[in-house]
Amino acid sequence: MSDEKRYNGWSNYETWNVKLWMDNDEGSYNYWREQVRDTWECKDHDKDSTISAIAKMLESEHDDNVPELNGCYADLLNAALSEVDWYEIAEALVDDEDLQEDEEAEAKEDDTEVEL
């Protein structure tokens, strides 16, 4: 994607805006952190599978919660949502959780307990 559409480090304004609202709402923020951790466990700690699954969940949940609109406003909202890079948001959510670092720390703790 060309740099001319980028917005505040994100692929576009629409993606940045969705992530901003997700992060600024405490309930949403905590919900998606939990979804990432649960998905990480279900996907056997595979980062790519976790990101893909979270991206699908994000898109589905946002699609399911689109308000009923008609005419111009419906077209504008649908156009904006079609620009959102769900994978980019999912990747940021997974990276924010530092799941691999958490796993490495747990492994070190387990090794330490065994040595004692």
Count of helix runs (H) and strand runs (E) in the chain: 6, 0
Domain layout of the chain by residue ranges: 12-115
Query: Quick one: tokens of 28?
Result: 């949403």
The residue-averaged pLDDT of 84-90 equals 98
Flag whether pLDDT at 100 surpasses 60: yes
Rounded Cα distance, 82 and 80, in Å: 5
More confident residue, 4 or 108: 4
**Distance in angstroms (rounded) separating the CA atoms of residues 16 and 6:** 9
Q: What is the pLDDT of residue 109?
A: 64
**Inter-helix orientation angle 86-97/13-24, to 10°:** 40
DSSP 3-state assignment of 10? Answer: strand
Percent of the chain with pLDDT over 70: 83
Q: Examine the pLDDT at 2 and tell me if it is beyond 80.
A: no
Average pLDDT value for residue range 56-64: 97
pTM exceeds 0.75 for this model: yes
